Amino acid sequence: MNKSNNWSVEPHFDASENAKSPKAVEITVNNQNSSYSRGNKDFSIDGIVLNHSTNGKTWEWKIATISNWPEFKTKTCHKEIHLPWCDRERIPYPCAWRRTCKKVAYVRVKYSGSDLDKALEKAIKECSKFGLAAALPLVLIGQFGAAGVAFLEALKTCLIKKGIKYVGRFSIGVYTTKTCGEWKRI
C-alpha cells in the first residue's frame, strides 16, 4: 500500500516474464490532504463550488480514480476458407477485444437553503469525508445509486450529530467520467 497523500491499491497479476500480462488496476482515493484537477480547475478535499446563488450552493468532490480498468467485448469475425465443393466461404466466428479505461467517480452535493453560513459550510466539508468513506466501496463495485444514498445518509448523520437542523435541504448525485484507449483484438 502506498503511504503518500493518496491511498492506493494496486493488485498485481501473476505471470511469467515471457507472457503478456495486463497492467495492474490502480485505484486512487482522495483523502483529506489530497488534491486533483479536472479541466482547468484544481480541487482539494474541500471540494469545488460549482454554483453559489441565493437559493443555495453546490459542491463537487472526487470519490475515486480507477486506472487501467479492463473492458472486454466480443464481435463476429469472418475467415475465408477454401472448401472442395465451392471456391471460398466466409465462416463467422466469435473474436474477443479488450481496452483499458480510466474511470473517475464524483459526488455532487447541493444545499437548497438560503441560510448557509460559514459554520454550516465548514460542517458540510467535514461531514463529506464520512460520506466519501461510505460511498467508496459501492462506487468500486459499480453501484452508483446506492453510493449516492450511502453518501447522503452518512452526511446527514454527521450533520445531525453536529447540531445542524436542516438536513432535508440536501440533494446529491454520483456520476462517473470515463476515458478509454483503442479496442485491441485479443
Nearest Cα to Cα of residue 152 among 122, 131, 127: 131
Q: Are strands 48-53 and 41-44 parallel, antiparallel or unpaired?
A: unpaired
Of 18 and 144, more confident: 144
* DSSP type of residue 39: T
Nearest Cα to Cα of residue 174 among 61, 21, 26, 14: 61
Nearest Cα to Cα of residue 151 among 168, 130, 170, 166: 130
Alpha-carbon distances of 179 from 39, 102, 185, rounded to whole Å: 13, 5, 19
Residue-level pLDDT at 7: 36
Residue-level pLDDT at 184: 95
Residues 96 and 72 sit within 8 Å (Cβ to Cβ): yes
DSSP 14-31: ---SSS--PPPPEEEE--
Interval 118-162: pLDDT, tens = 888 888 888 988 999 999 899 888 888 899 899 999 999 999 999
- Is residue 44 scored above 70 in pLDDT? no
Residue-level pLDDT at 47: 52
Q: How far apart are CA 42 and CA 118, in angstroms?
A: 22
Residue-level pLDDT at 2: 40
- Is residue 55 scored above 80 in pLDDT? no
Of 31 and 61, more confident: 61
Q: Which residue has the cell 465451392?
A: 86
C-alpha cell at 15: 505471470
Beta bridge partners of 60: 48, 108
At 147 the three-state DSSP class reads helix
